[in-house]
Structure 1
Amino acid sequence: MLTLGSCDGGVPATSVPCTAPVREPPTARRGDVEGLRAVAVLLVVTYHVWLGRVSGGVDVFLLVSAFFLTGGLVRRLDAGERVSVARHWLRVFHRLVPTAGVVVAATVLAGVVLLPAVRWRGLLVDAVGSMTYTENWVLALRAVDYYAADKGSASPLQHMWSLSLQGQAFLLWPVLLVALAALARRTGWLTVRGLAGLGLGAVALTSFAWAVHSTATRQAFAYFDGAARVWELALGGLLALVVHRVQVPAAVAVPLGWLGAAGLVSCGLLLDVTGTFPGWAALWPLLSASAIILAGTAPGRWGVGRVLATSPLVTLGGISYALYLVHWPVLVLWLATSGRERAGMLDGAVVVVASLALAWLLSRAVERPVRALPWLRDAPWRSAGLVLGTAAAVATVSVAGIVRLDGQARRGAELSAGAEVPGYPGARAVHEGLQVAAVAPEDRLPAVTALRREWASLPGPCRGDWSDARLGSACTQLEPAGTPTASVVVVGDSHAEQWLAAVRPIAEEHGWRVVALLEGGCSFGAASTRTGGCADFNLAATAYLRQRPVDLVVTVSTAAHPTTTGERLVPGYAEVVRELTMHGVPVVGLRDNPRFTYAVAACVLENGDRDCSPRVAQKLAPSSPADALVGVDGFTSIDLTDLICPEGVCVPSVGNVWVYLDDNHLTRSFGATLSSALSDRLMAAGAWPEPDPGPPVVAGHLGVAGGPGGQVRR
């Protein structure tokens, strides 16, 4: 057990004399800071429900939590008290875990009843992440778009990321502060408070530098990255160390506090924080909150602290934890069941009132009673049993659910690997004219519970001469067992990535090396038509293709629109095609697939196939925009729309295989069933990447450039 000895009556840590502790007024129960917590949760709820923007309220939560945590621990350590880290952990998680466990369990039950099966596995994974305080890393690795307009498609437990980050801080902070206090006493160089300040300052500067860098380079990951967020906690800790020493004159405190309040409330309205948190922009709400806390040290009847310390706000601050826990599941489940993308004024008000009522009930029925029960509070082993038992019970049931769903999902594993499964021919039913008996939606492959894992990929990172430091993890590779017969590179965004499912079986059959250069949200085109990281990626990818012996480049040439027939050539695509072909690099451009405004499989489960099957004439342009590149020597345009939308109808499944994993990406399983058709059309178009494919064969039903029955274009 990690503890620090007392200097007053306890066993001293060393023979070094103890420095007299600095005494200051307690900060643990400042009414204005409790009120600030209430304002922060109101901002979070309001922005989530009605504005669909980031308010900065979560950042204030992190700062305030660290303010209380650091202030309390350093006061005890500075006074020479014996601090048991294990007991501190137990007290903190005794307050947090039971309430969280009730909310997570209730959300999972409600999600299974109200959400389509395609979302169950993700919900269970988030439940495990929530109860193990790792949800921020789950979402970081998943690279969730926190700013998605359609909150109804978000996870009902996505908001647990910030509580997971706080939980990690609650584990780390006492260890760090006790270790610093022990070092201060052992060396005598600085007081406990002074060394704690240096330590937290170093943490803050290091983390902030990382936050600025990672926000600029991979913001979707950085948003949930604990290393990029810990500076916000460290800032709250530093504030706790200095607040008692700052004497703000009343004449300054009044405008300072109100300025901080105005900055906090207006942050999400005046700043377009999408893509900028947790970097420089996060200073806005944090400095605003810091100004409010500093202003509260000066008495005054006109200060913002008087308002924040009023009974309604202090009461709301007392249930802020429960309100944060419940508001997001209530909102997401309402949007999912109502089919709305965002709440309006009336239903949003109902969501807020319902969340307040549930938070009050949760606080009165679970949070306060569990915290106050003497037989738990006074018996550490019982308290530990409650904490660990609650977390383990919810996590274990969730893991069992994941295992069961994964067992169902294995039915489609052979199909997604490129094997032929009787009764499930997918696109081959159209390409080869096969007759197949239709099955019910719940019997189609892959299992709807596994759709979100139906992304195509290659087995490992690029290596040897095929790796490139400029592309890093964006470059992956499939190497054949023997000497490669050809080297094929698939390049672009997620719509290029999905075609790996069709390319890979061909490569494995014919001994190709396949390299994928992929950057999410960044289609392949001339770098001059892109900005930021996307421009860098396209510049590096183009140079990569010119500098290596590439036999064929596979790209997506067009971009479909989800609501109109406004399909267009990918911006800058013509320029990059001409640049590559001019240097002798052959390029195949695959026409984009239709896109939708709804998750296709979920639509079928709720409404049936007919209501989820628009005609292709409603989704794509009358002819492929890639026709504009007809005549460019070395370029081949291939259109497989006739297999994705047979007989002109974009059906949700073809040959008993789900076509889409979401609203716009093909499943890996369906893509694998496209491989034979893609192989035939590459050969027919004369684009086969072998040294001597023989003379091109032109068939009558190739779907090349002009669609079914089109003429070969090169």
Structure 2
Amino acid sequence: MGDRLSGTVIVRIAQRKDASKDVRVRGFRADIEGLRAIAVVAVLIYHLRSGWLPGGFAGVDIFFVISGFLITSHLIREWASRGRISLTRFYARRMIRLVPAATLTLVATAAATVLFVPRYLWQQIGFDIAGAAAYIVNWVFAARSVDYLAEDAVTSPVQHFWSLAVEEQYYLIWPLLIILAGMAATKLRLRTRVMVVCAAGMVITLSFGAALLAIAAGDATAYFSTLTRLWELAVGATVAAAAPVLSRVTGVVAGFGYAAGIALILIALVVVTGEADWPGPLTLLPVLGTAMAIAFGGAGTVVEKIVCVKPLVWVGGISYSLYLWHWPIIVIAGYVFERNSVAVALACATLSVLLAWLSVRFFENPIRFSTWARGRSRNGLSLGLVMGAASVVLGLILSWSSSDGSLRAPEGAVPQGAAVLGPVPTESASSELMVEPAWVLPAPNKATEDVPRLYADGCQQDQFSAEVLRCTYGDTEADRTIAIVGDSKANQWLPAIDLIGKDEGYRVDVITKSACSLSDAPARKSGGAYPSCDEWNDNVDRELAELRPDVVLTSMASARAHVNGTEAEARRVMAEGLAAKLAHIEELGSDVIVIADTPHPPFAVYQCVAEHSDDVLGCGFALAPALELSAVGTQRAAVEQLGGTVLEPGTSAAEPAGTRSAADSQAPTMIDMTDVICPPSTAQSCPAVIGNALIYRQGSHVTATYVETMTEHLRDVLAEAGLEVR
């Protein structure tokens, strides 16, 4: 996809010392243009309606193999004819071919974003545009794919640039490997192609191995990672290096090989479903299929003639531009039209083809074939760098322009938040809550950044490692210890617990892992097993046995264990696993307090507030279904199984506040802060804002700002639960 050297390539591969023996000449490769057309049409259909072509995403893999083949063919040809490779010339040509079209698409995407996309989304999209222009956006999406705090991230209109970024990163290293292979061949008196095959084989082994390991570990970054994708381009490179040998295969054998290759491609596009385990073993279907089609193409078989029909060849000629344009059009259309009907889908496809043709005809080719651009390598480099830098700046400007001033807080303003509720939330007057706020903090477009400082400190373990990370807050010199253990629903309470720890003389140790609940039940993530979470839980047992905290605070977002069974069965197993874990912690001598999961909104609250700044009250949601979605029921079942009690702000415990110690505790206590988040006076609904504080940041996580305003409520109910306070 990224390498658009055109199907009108003449590939002449010759070893400098053996040119008379090792020559393969090919003229116009209409079959390669046909393969490009199949790839881009497959991707287009998949993005318009994935059900129409379940494996259409594999079109990207077809592009990877083609790019690896063409780039390597040209590099070997240059080495064979000149005995060297000009990196300056190589990168200048790449920039002239790739950057202008990409820049035009990015500029148009930024303009369409300003016109049709809600302003609060400009920050993310602008950042993505900058990453796409710098050809590093695949790593941006890789990080986002495993970022538990990015669950509300919108579909990026430049998400498809990830594959272009992979190819550009490939171009940084592959010419160097060809040079090294050529030098080694000269030194060892071997053919350059032999050394290139060896180099490609090494890359295939390491990269494909990395992909298999990543998929086995459930690493979501594998899909976007250059390290797990290089093998696909290296397969194409192997075909290029082996071209003289492969050209000897002719007749029926070549025809059968070509047909088999096309068959593998079609099987991948039609039969394969889901991108979760990609790239993996099934990726071999489109990769090897494309390699076979390229290797045995040119024989003029019936199947090849079908692939080479003029409409496909024409589409192949504009495939790069079509790939660039189609995805922004589809994504932006989602903001323009209420529903993505078949008519809208067909209109998007038509507009994509039209813009692709116009781009090639009136923008790309005039630049690409201009005397100035092709005259000197430095001209091409300058053009590419200037256009790329301009796109990066444009993206950053768009990102910085995301705030429109709506609901902007006055300088120095501090929200009251939960403080407006009074000591007993159930007695709060609705008149104080059901008022449209003039300002809110955090600003809606900054809500996802309003997180506990432990994230900046690198204190939450990621989804892959089972190592226990521990960071200390509160009164770091205190003898008494509170340990916050669990997932992000546990650590979201740190802003309040940190203040309580400093005031009451507790060291606060945070031990958390992304999307990993404290439980002995088999962990579940994205509908599958979560082995690193299970291992982490075992390691936490040892950590707590050594740490011996006075109090362990935990919460959780996941209500279900990973079991084969019904929803009820999954919840029951999770409750039993949580109960077993809590009982074990109590045996260590620690008091256990479970903080109820916060209600799960049915939509992104901060996005609603950003879009409806004049009707913030309309961004409230019903409490009952929000609790059903949460883990409250699972937590309550576990606590009750152990004979524990449930406390809410404003209630009284069986014993006077502050008189129970950890050693006296016989059962865990669950504290439910729901009334502070969804006050009963709001008629069983959960408001988006209380006391000028935005409550939710993303998903069902509460903003650090609002949690901090809940400090006094939390302090009181913790004292009722037995926490010793002064």
Hey, what's the Cα distance between the residues in 1 that align with 2:23 and 2:438? 65
1:70 Cα offset (Å): 0.5
Aligned residue for 1:154, secondary structure, equals: coil
Aligned pairs (5 A) from 1:303-382 = 303=303, 305-338=304-337, 340=339, 343-382=340-379
Match of 1:650 in 2: 686
1:167-216 Cα distance to aligned partner (Å, 9 max, x none): 1112222222123223332x134222122221221122112222222232
| Alpha-carbon spacing, 1:344–1:400, altered in 2? closer, same or farther (3 Å) | closer
Is 2:491 aligned against 1:493?
A: no
Instruction: State the match for 2:6 in structure 1.
Output: none
Q: Deviations over 1:550-581 (max 9, x none)?
A: 333322256579xxx99967553233223333
SS in 2 for 1:593: coil
Unaligned runs of 5+ in 1: 1-16, 415-420, 695-714
**Contact map agreement 1:118 1:451 (CA 8 A) in 2:** no
Equivalent in the alignment of 1:10: none
Change (3 A) 1:169 1:34: same
- For 1:216-295, what aligned pairs fall within 5 Å after superposition? 216-246=216-246, 247-267=248-268, 269-295=270-296
Find the aligned partners of 2:255 and 2:437 in 1 and give their Cα distance: 64
The answer (yes or no) to whether the contact 1:527–1:539 under 8 Å persists in 2 is: no
Give the match for residue 17 of structure 2. 19
Overall identity of the aligned pairs, in %: 30
> Within 1, Cα distance between the matches of 2:141 and 2:497?
29
Q: What corresponds to 2:158 in structure 1?
A: 157
CA 1:294 to 1:384, structure 2 compared with 1: closer, same or farther past 3 Å? Answer: closer
CA, structure 1 residues 73+568, in 2 after alignment: closer, same or farther (shift >3 Å)?
Answer: same
Instruction: Tell me the equivalent position of 1:682.
Output: 718
- Equivalent runs, 1:624-703 vs 2, <5 Å: 624-628=633-637, 629-630=639-640, 631-632=643-644, 633-647=666-680, 648-686=684-722, 688=723, 693=725
Q: Distance in 1 between matches of 2:676 and 2:140?
A: 36
**Matched length:** 654
Residue type of the alignment partner of 1:444: V
- Could you tell me whether the CA contact under 8 Å between 1:140 and 1:222 is conserved in 2? yes
Cα offset for 1:405?
A: 5.5
Does structure 1 conserve the Cα–Cα contact (< 8 Å) formed by 2:92 and 2:378?
A: no
- Flag the 1:583–1:481 CA change in 2: closer, same or farther, 3 A: closer
TM-score of the aligned structures, taking structure 2 as reference length: 0.81
- Contact 1:442 / 1:448 at 8 angstroms: preserved in 2? no
1:477 alignment partner in structure 2? 471
Q: State the Cα deviation string for residues 260-302 of structure 1 (Å, max 9, x = none).
A: 33332332553344431223332222122222223325x2432
Which residue pairs with 2:420 in the alignment?
429
Counterparts in 2 of 1:25-424, with a 5 A limit?
25-26=24-25, 29-51=28-50, 55-143=57-145, 153-185=154-186, 187-246=187-246, 247-267=248-268, 269-297=270-298, 299-303=299-303, 305-338=304-337, 340=339, 343-403=340-400, 422-424=413-415
Q: 1:591 to 1:369 in 2, by over 3 A?
A: same
Higher deviation after alignment, 59-68 or 522-531: 522-531
Change (3 A) 1:372 1:18: closer
**Aligned to 2:483, what secondary structure does the other structure show?**
strand
Partner residue in 1 for 2:500: 506
Comparing 358-367 with 435-444, greater Cα deviation is found at 435-444
* Equivalent residue, structure 2, for 1:4: none
Q: Secondary structure at the match of 2:549?
A: coil
Contact kept, 8 Å, 1:560 with 1:595, in 2: the verdict is no
The structural deviation recorded for 1:457 is 4.3
- The amino acid of 1:93's aligned partner reads M
CA deviations on 1:433-467 (whole Å, 9 max, x unpaired) are 6997999778321122222323334153569xx99
Match 2:620 to one of 613, 616, 624: 613
Q: Tell me the equivalent position of 1:578.
A: 583
Cα 1:636–1:270 change in 2 (3 A) is farther
CA distance, structure 2, for counterparts of residue 613 and residue 380 of structure 1: 59
- Residue 81 (structure 1) shift: 4.7
- Work out whether residues 577 and 587 of structure 1, in 8 Å CA contact, stay in contact via their aligned partners in 2: yes
1:637 CA displacement: 0.7
Query: Which letter does structure 2 place at the counterpart of 1:382?
Result: N
5 Å-filtered alignment, 1:515-554, equals 515-528=509-522, 530=524, 531=529, 532-554=531-553
CA distance in 1, matches of 2:270, 2:595: 41
Mapped partners of 1:37, 1:513: distance in 2: 61
Question: In the alignment, residue 357 of structure 2 is paired with which amino acid?
Answer: W
Shift of the 576–349 alpha-carbon distance from structure 1 to 2, 3 Å rule, reads farther
Larger displacement relative to structure 2 (318-327 or 253-262) = 253-262
Distance 1:462-1:656 versus aligned 2 partners, 3 A rule: closer
Q: Alignment RMSD, CA only?
A: 3.6
Assess if the C-alpha contact under 8 Å between 1:559 and 1:568 holds in 2.
Answer: no
Pick which of 322-331 and 382-391 moved more.
382-391
Secondary structure of residue in 2 paired with 1:450 = helix
Distance 1:315 1:470, change over 3 A: closer
Query: 2:444: which partner in 1?
Result: 448
Q: Distance in 2 between matches of 1:112 and 1:221?
A: 30
Query: Higher mean Cα deviation, 27-36 or 318-327?
Result: 27-36
Work out whether residues 264 and 286 of structure 2, in 8 Å CA contact, stay in contact via their aligned partners in 1. yes
Q: Which amino acid in the other structure matches residue 49 of structure 2? A: W
Deviation at 1:100, TM superposition (A): 0.7
Q: Are the counterparts in 1 of residues 473 and 498 from structure 2 also a CA contact under 8 Å?
A: no
Q: Deviation string for 1:228-279 (max 9, x for gaps)?
A: 2212221211121113312445434444433333332332553344431223
Separation (CA, whole Å) in 2 of partners of 1:671 and 1:413: 21
Once the 2 structures are TM-superposed, how far is the Cα of residue 679 of structure 1 from its aligned partner? 2.2
Ranges in structure 2 where 5+ consecutive residues have no aligned partner: 1-14, 561-566, 645-665
After superposing the two structures, state which structure 1 stretch, 209-218 or 231-240, moved more: 209-218
**Partner amino acid, structure 2, of 1:471:** A
Q: Tell me, yes or no, if the aligned pair for 1:263 and 1:288 is still in contact at 8 Å.
A: yes
Q: 1:534/1:626 Cα in 2 relative to 1: closer, same or farther (>3 Å)? A: closer
Q: Residues 600 and 230 (structure 1 numbering): CA distance in 2 closer, same or farther, change over 3 Å? A: same
